[in-house]
Structure formats: structure tokens, C-alpha cells
Amino acid sequence: MNFLNRAWLNLRHKKGRSLLLVLVTSAILIFVLAGLIIQNAAVTATQNAQKSAGATVTLSANREKMFAQMQAAREAGETTRPAEATATVAQVKKIAALANVAGYSISNSASVNANGFDPIESSSSSQGGFGGGQGGTSRGGESNKPAQGDMNIAGVSTSASAAAFTGKTATLVDGRGITASDENTNNIMIEKNLADQDSLKVGDTVKVKSTDGKQKISLKIVGIYQLKSTATEGFSPIDPSNTIYASYTLANTLNGTVDQAANVTFTLSEPSKANAFVKAAKKLIDTNKLQLTADDAAYKALLTPLNNIKSFASKIVILVAVAGVIILTLIIVLMVRERRHEMGVLLSIGERKAKIVGQLFFELFAVLVISLGIAGVTGNYVGQTVGNQLVAQQTAQAKTTSETTGQPGSQGGRGMGGQLGAGGPGGMRGGMTNQASPAQLKQLNTTLNMKTLGELGGFGLVIILVAVSAASINILRLKPKRILTNE
């Protein structure tokens, strides 16, 4: 084992060269470690995105088929309009029982007139409506003119699942929200501006009447919410403060569609299995009348930058490893040239060439161990810094792409009376609320563990093995007599 002792003595005697090797090897390992950490963090973030980003599948009328029927009826000279297809609540519950469904929400809308209290007047409402924005209440299509009231009933399964509340554009300020226990009741939530104007509070009762005047219903206020902005969107004729949240069963009663679910949103626990869910759910509905639309934009919005970061990190590891092999090989070649006399003496006294190569390897192995310690201390910081920079770059790029291409709304607001509303960004059926913005990746949570350090050690070992092997060609060609003669 004299070659091990010689390696140790050489490292101690040549302190400057040993320090240079430690610095070079440490720099190589730090960047390799940073790449490994970013790569692992991106993989973990991708797995978490599958659980947290969420994806939704919307069940609604098959409008393409419905418009085809309308066109055929028009060409046949018929004046009546086909009724908009809806699913039954029983069908919805069957679909909700499928695997991968984390929850579901039924939403619809109905237009009514205030009776005994004053709605909020806005410039848009005073100018009259454009029809489809908030969804008229004429169903069955007996008239082509949508009946538009001055109040909008936003029917939901729970107000907490409504886009305005999930998107933080509306917040509960008094009382409670609408829950599943409010089904088949007349409990409602009203907007704060409307409550202030009409001196209404939780526990009070208000009355509304259907747009045809045939139904008059008393509604009990159980909660008051506040909008961040009351600006009227698009061509909506109703001030946002005139939206009343209630159970979808109340809107069904006003529309005459009891036990029907016009618009249902299923939330999936695993976005990557959205297509499998849609395939299974289609077997439970009449696809000539209804359609299922998967919306996994939030998941894909997170997945795209993560895949880019993971790909970039892989390239960092490969490029740094290749560069490390080249740099270390050049350094070892120079070391061999510098130590030709030492090696010539060793060969002349009978030392085997394999042991000389082994001495070189163990010198670099000792350097590798020290460099691993340095990389372990600083690599996580470098990985976190580089990772956050990549996330910021990818997020900005995704935002720019989104702004350039535009993000279509999931469904444009559509009045039941037959006129199309403005399908603005994130618009929902009936134009009730804005859709929540898709989640964005803000940072990578990089962590250094023993597995990553083991991978780094493996990479380092391969790098020095390749470098020593390449440089050993010169050692194997050495002839002691020729070396000493040339000296």
C-alpha cells in the first residue's frame, strides 16, 4: 500500500496544486449538485402539482348539437326553439361517484324582479340589457326575446365553491354562506351595497317575483357578501351588486326545471387522469345532448414551466459533467508531464504502472471527498438561487405567452333566451362571476438529502475515473530508461 502513502504525502507536499484541484473539483461538483437539486425539486413540484393544481370537468348542454338542431328547425320554417338540454341531479350524483372526483358543484341562474326593495341602479342597467350576459329566464324557447329582470339569482351548490369566492373577488362579511343544507330552501346571500342601500341585514326577508309575474317568493337573508369591484363586465345589463346567491334548487324552481342540473363542475383529485374520467362519465350521459369539457389549464400552467426547468437542470448536469471531465483530464495530463521524473524513478525501482495510476486516482479521490463536503455546504444555496431565477424566468415567459395568445373563457355567458353573451376571459355560464386565475409556480423548494449527495458522489467518481483513465495513457507509455536518459 505504499502508493496510498505516496499519494497522501504528495497531496501534503504540493499544497498549492492540491488546493487548485480542490477548488476546480468543488466548482464542478457545486454546479452538478445544483442541477441535481433543481431536477429533484422540479420532479417533486410536478408530483405536488398533480395534487394541488386541480382540474375541473364541466357538464353542460352540447351547444354544437343544439345549434345544429336550431339551424335545421329554422330551415324547416319552425319558429319554436329547442329546449336547452340539462342533466338530472341523479345523473350528476352517478358521475360524482366515479373515481378521481374530489367534489362537484351545480350552478345555474335565474332572472327575477325585486319586489318591495330597490335594486342597485347602474349606468349599464339603466341603459337596458343586451340579452345574454346574465342569462334570461325564458326556457323552452316560446319567445325569442329574453325576459330580463333587475335581479340575478346565482344558484350554487355552495357559495364557497362559486368562482367569485374561490377567486377572492367576493368575501363573506356577515352571516354565513350558502351550503348544501340550503337545498330546497329560500335562503340567500346578498351583496353589501344592496344591503346598505335597502337597510337589509342577516335574518331579514325580501321578496322577488318572476319576470312573468306569476311567482312571488319570499327569501330569507342568511349572509351578506362584499365584492372587491362592482364594475359591470362586458355587456351585462345588471349591476354585480344585484346578484343574489342561493341554492341551485331555488333557481331551478324559478326556471321550472326542478331536479335538473344545467351546469355542473366536477373537481378532480388527479388532473392527469382527466381524460379517463371524461371517458367514463360519457357512458352515463346522452352525448347528443350533453357534453363534458375538461379544464386542466391550471395544472398545465404549472406543468409547462416545471418541465422546462427539469429539462434545463438535466442539461446543466450533463454539460458540467462533460466540462468537468475535460478540465480534470487536462489538469492530470499536465500533472503527469510535471511528474515524469518522479514516475521514471518509481518505474526504474520496479513499481508497477497500475500502482502509479492508482496513486493518481487516490490523490483525486481524496480531493473529491473534500470537494463533496464543500459542495454539500454551498450547493443547496446555489440550487435554490438558480432554481428561483429559472422559475421567475419561466413564469414571466408563460405570462407573456398567455397575454399574447389570450386565454379563452371556459364558456361564454349565454342567455337562456337564446342570445349569446360576451364570452370574456374566464366567463361562466350565465355570466355570474369571474373564474379564478390559474395557479402560478412561485418558487422551487430545493432540499439536499443523502440520496442527492450519493448521486453527486457517483457523478464525481465517474468524472475522476474517466479523467484518470484518459490521462493514464501517457503513464502507460512511459519508459523509465528513456525518461531518466532525457533528464
Task: Give me the pLDDT at residue 351, please.
Answer: 80
Of residues 426 and 246, the one with the higher pLDDT is 246
Residue-level pLDDT at 407: 46
| pLDDT-above-70 percentage for the chain | 78
Q: What is the mean pLDDT of the chain?
A: 77
More confident residue, 417 or 176: 176
Contact present, 238 and 150 (Cβ < 8 Å): yes
- Residue 398's SS3 state is helix
**Cα 265 vs. chain centroid, distance in angstroms?**
18
Highest mean pLDDT of the ranges 39-53, 60-74, 360-374, 412-426: 360-374
Q: pLDDT-derived band of residue 485, with 50, 70 and 90 as boundaries?
A: low
Query: Rounded to whole angstroms, how far apart are CA atoms 130 and 176?
Result: 33
**pTM for this one?**
0.56
**Rounded distance between C-alpha atoms, residue 379 and residue 30, angstroms:** 5
CA distance 321 to 441: 29
Percentage of the chain lying above the pLDDT 90 cut: 13
- Residue 104 pLDDT grade (very low, low, confident, very high; cuts 50, 70, 90): confident
Whether 436 shows a pLDDT value over 50: the answer reads no
More confident of the two residues 145 and 24: 24
Residue 429 has pLDDT above 70, yes or no: no
Give residue-wise pLDDT tens across range 375-411. Answer: 888 877 777 787 777 777 776 766 666 555 544 433 3
Give the range with max mean pLDDT: 143-157, 264-278, 405-419: 264-278
Q: Determine the pLDDT at residue 440.
A: 57
Identify which has the larger pLDDT, 1 or 177: 177
Rounded CA gap, 97 and 256, in Å?
27
Higher pLDDT, 483 or 209: 209
pLDDT tens-digit readout, 169-178: 899 999 999 9
Q: State the pLDDT at residue 247.
A: 92
Q: In this predicted model, what pLDDT tens digit does every residue of 284-341 receive, in sequence order?
A: 888 888 888 887 776 777 777 778 878 888 888 888 888 888 888 888 888 877 887 7
Q: Where does the pLDDT of residue 441 fall: very low under 50, low under 70, confident under 90, or very high at 90 and above?
A: low
According to the model, what pLDDT value does residue 207 have? 92
Name the more confident of 426 and 283: 283
C-alpha pair distances (Å), 397 with each of 85, 388, 400, 404, 405: 41, 14, 5, 10, 12
User: Dihedrals φ, ψ of 420, to 5°?
Assistant: -80, 135
Model confidence at 47, pLDDT cuts 50, 70, 90, reads confident
pLDDT in tens, 64-93: 877 777 787 777 777 666 667 788 888 898
pLDDT at position 404: 57
Residue 236 confidence class, pLDDT cut points 50, 70, 90: low
Other Cβ atoms less than 10 A from the Cβ of 339: the count is 17
